[in-house]
Chains A and B, each alone.
Chain A
Amino acid sequence: MENRFHMEFSAVSENESFARLCISAFLLPCDPTVNDMTDIKTAVSEAVTNAIIHGYEGVENGIVTLDARLEKNILHIKVSDTGKGIANIEEARKPLFTTGSDRERSGMGFTVMEAFTDKMAVESEVGKGTTVTMQKRLKCYG
């Protein structure tokens, strides 16, 4: 069994909870554990928030894309923006690295995504945008 969804939404902070709600509703039929649900909601929230605050920093009308695909009990997630991009991905992924320390950012978003999923990859090009893909095996379907 395979199931998927694709959505695009405005890069505004109101849509962070909207994105979490959508991924939760998508997973509900496979009856995931509370832990898995929390992990996925948190990881999606991190990626979507980064697209909104970093990707589209100083830009209006940005669009964030969220794709999810459930293949049996493996969940694939993709969060993309067409914003400013990341010059040094390796550095950005390091714990505590942030370009937003003036706004109470802790630089832990990528670390959280990594810890809350099984696999996380970042693709980015300066001036073109960023795509974060994540994978997680869920404890549903036995």
Chain B
Amino acid sequence: MKLKSRKKYNTLLVTLSGDIDHHSAQEISEGIARDFRHSHCKNIIINFSDVSFMDSSGIGMLIGRYKETEIFGGRLAAVSISRELMKIFKVSGLYKIINCYDNENLALEAFRGE
């Protein structure tokens, strides 16, 4: 599992790659939380295009990040979710809580439109 992040406007863009399971989730949570704090951003966009697998540990990780953005009145978006991953987003109800977009630009546009 790899985590990369960069800042654009007041949004932290996070790219994850590999499997999101219980083994990797804690490191991902801590990594995003740390980068988010240091960036002084308001919103987080997580890019899933290179994520090969995700189970319910990923749901917990995402809800955790959702709560953190809420504290700053910001938003969390998930982008580039493959068809296979979309199933767990739907079954868990995640897609109702977290805004999902096809790509980073669409999410950024949605954030700016507010």
**A53→B22 contact, CB < 8 A:** yes
Interchain CA distance A105-B23 in the complex, whole Å: 13
Q: Which 4 A-B pairs have the closest CB atoms?
A: A13-B23, A104-B60, A106-B59, A106-B60
Given contacts A104-B29, A112-B56, could you give 13 more A-B pairs where the C-beta distance is less than 8 Å?
Answer: A13-B21, A16-B21, A17-B23, A20-B19, A34-B84, A42-B55, A49-B55, A52-B22, A104-B26, A104-B64, A106-B60, A115-B91, A116-B91
Number of interface residues of B (CB under 8 A): 21
Number of interface residues of A (CB under 8 A): 26
> Cβ of B92 < 8 Å from any Cβ of A?
yes
**A13→B55 contact, CB < 8 A:** no
Interchain CA distance A96-B59 in the complex, whole Å: 11
Interchain CA distance A42-B58 in the complex, whole Å: 11
Which A residues are closer than 8 A to B by beta carbons? 13-14, 16-17, 20, 34-35, 38-39, 41-42, 45-46, 49, 52-53, 103-106, 108-109, 111-112, 115-116
> Cβ of B63 < 8 Å from any Cβ of A?
yes
Interchain CA distance A106-B55 in the complex, whole Å: 11
9 contacts between A and B (CB under 8 A): A39-B87, A42-B53, A42-B55, A42-B88, A103-B60, A105-B56, A106-B63, A115-B91, A116-B91
Question: Residue on A with the closest CB to B18?
Answer: A17
Interchain CA distance A104-B21 in the complex, whole Å: 12
**B55→A46 contact, CB < 8 A:** yes
For residue B26, which residues in chain A have a CB less than 8 angstroms away from its CB? 104
> Cβ of B99 < 8 Å from any Cβ of A?
no
Minimal beta-carbon separation of A122 from chain B (angstroms): 16
Interchain CA distance A34-B64 in the complex, whole Å: 29
